[in-house]
Amino acid sequence: MGYARKVGWVTAGLVIGAGACYCIYRLTRGRKQNKEKMAEGGSGDVDDVGDCPGARYNDWSDDDDDNSENKGIVWYPPWARIGTEAGTRARARARARATRARRAVQKRASPNSDDTILSPQELQKVLCLVEMSEKPYILEAALIALGNNAAYAFNRDIIRDLGGLPIVAKILNTRDPIVKEKALIVLNNLSVNAENQRRLKIYMNQVCDDTITSRLNSSVQLAGLRLLTNMTVTNEYQHMLANSVSDFFRLFSAGNEETKFQVLKLLLNLAENPAMVRELLRAQVPSSLGSLFNKKENKEVILKLLVIFENINDNFKWEENEPTQNQFSEGSLFFFLKEFQVCADKILGIESHHDFLVKVKVGKFMAKLAERMFPKSQE
């Protein structure tokens, strides 16, 4: 009886593994058609939420690319990374093992099937594989399959109903950066859904901490910023990031151009919400923030940063909050904007910028800032 039970468990495991591998092959064998796209600066709608006021940023992504069908995922054991003869043999064995597994999956798959959408039964098999497997290359392949399927609106509900949100979120605890990035991509695509957001909010603090502490400009950090951007498309969960605004400004100042753009999208979402303006003004900003306004900086970075400042300026009651300046510490964004002369010196130094639109935008912003901050001095 005991022997029969063991055979049954082994058989069940093989069936689940084979089925999930077949699903992964079907999903990754061709380029996905009819991708959902959202133009930058669009409405930023979330499934079942409705229109969001202002230009909100929604960053979903998929991991499919033109070369995905030729990309072999091979996991090497630790000892295979040593530059020795034994390590070379171990790496060769790992490559051969991955090749045999890939050919076995291809043999089972229908050679004429171009369908990249998995059925609920197939998605459940892939989720079982994510939950049960500990091999990085298997987890990576399974998460790519889930991420590509989560790019379709109807699959976001199915994956949630199959219990996929906590299964994928558990992978965030891994130390493998590649696997963590793929898990963040899956959650990012799933988060473009109101009910999924309500369930994913419990992971926002962990994602925020991981994003801030990850290696600067790393793929994990960028994936985390995209997920946080999606979670802040509406005002409902923005307050959960209130204590991290200073860190986002730090990432913006220190990061490369791609990181800057991702942080700006997140800050633009926050600046659209009047309830978050005080938290933005309270944030400590690097002294290098003013130096970004120079003709060497990317034009789009300058323009988006000005939009953030304009939104803050429009949503904050300067006259009513005049007696409460002691709530803002030195080095905060409030004092960066309040010290008009210093701010003007830094920003108006861009008057020699080669781009006419940048010069016009800066001039309008400074005029509005002066009018709102110093109405009495102009009498």
**Three-state SS for 47?**
strand
High-pLDDT (> 90) share of the chain, %: 42
Residue 127 in this model has a pLDDT that exceeds 60:
yes
Q: Enter the tokens of residue 221.
A: 């950090």
Average pLDDT over residues 294-313: 86
The secondary structure of residue 50, as a DSSP letter, is: B
pLDDT, residue 66, reads: 36
Residue 355: the pLDDT is 75
Residue 30 pLDDT: 39
The answer for residues whose C-beta is within 8 angstroms of residue 60's C-beta and 6 or more apart is 36, 38, 151, 188, 189, 191, 192, 226, 230
Contact (CB, 8 A) for 291 and 336: no
Higher pLDDT, 97 or 310: 310
- pLDDT higher than 80, residue 352: no
pLDDT score for 364: 79
Quote the pLDDT of residue 7: 46
Of the given ranges (84-98, 157-171, 223-237), which has the lowest mean pLDDT? 84-98
The closest alpha carbon to 346, from 304, 300, 303, 287, belongs to 287
Between 368 and 31, the more confident residue is: 368
As a whole number, mean pLDDT of residues 108-126 equals: 68
| Cβ density class 109-125: b for 16+ within 10 Å, e for less | beeeeeebbbeeebbbb
The whole-number pLDDT of residue 373 equals 60
Note the Cα 124 to chain centre separation in Å: 25
Task: Give me the amino acid identity at 228.
Answer: L
DSSP H helices, 255-315, are 257-271, 277-282, 299-315
For 174-192, write each residue's pLDDT tens digit.
999 999 999 999 999 999 9
Q: Please provide the average confidence, as pLDDT, over all residues in the chain.
A: 76
Provide mean pLDDT across the span 228-239: 96
Tokens of 134: 């500990």
User: pTM higher than 0.95, yes or no?
Assistant: no
pLDDT at 343: 65
The Cα-based distances of 139 to 4, 21, 174, 319 in angstroms read: 30, 11, 11, 55
Q: Where do runs of H (alpha helix) occur along 317-379?
A: 333-338, 340-347, 356-373
Region 91-111: what's the mean pLDDT? 56
Average the pLDDT over 250-264 and give the result: 95
Query: CA 11, CA 288: separation in Å to the nearest integer?
Result: 61
Per DSSP, 316 falls in state: S
In which band, very low, low, confident or very high, does the pLDDT at 288 lie, cut at 50, 70 and 90?
A: confident
- Neighbouring residues of 206: CB distance < 8 A, sequence distance ≥ 6: 172
CB distance 249 to 309 below 8 Å: no
Task: Say if residue 114's pLDDT is above 50.
Answer: no
Q: Which two tokens stand for residue 269?
A: 């979402």
Question: pLDDT confidence of 369, banded at 50, 70, 90?
Answer: confident
116 has a pLDDT exceeding 50: yes
At residue 50, what are phi and psi to the nearest 5 degrees?
100, -175
pLDDT band at 17 (very low <50, low <70, confident <90, very high): low
Strand partners, 284: 332
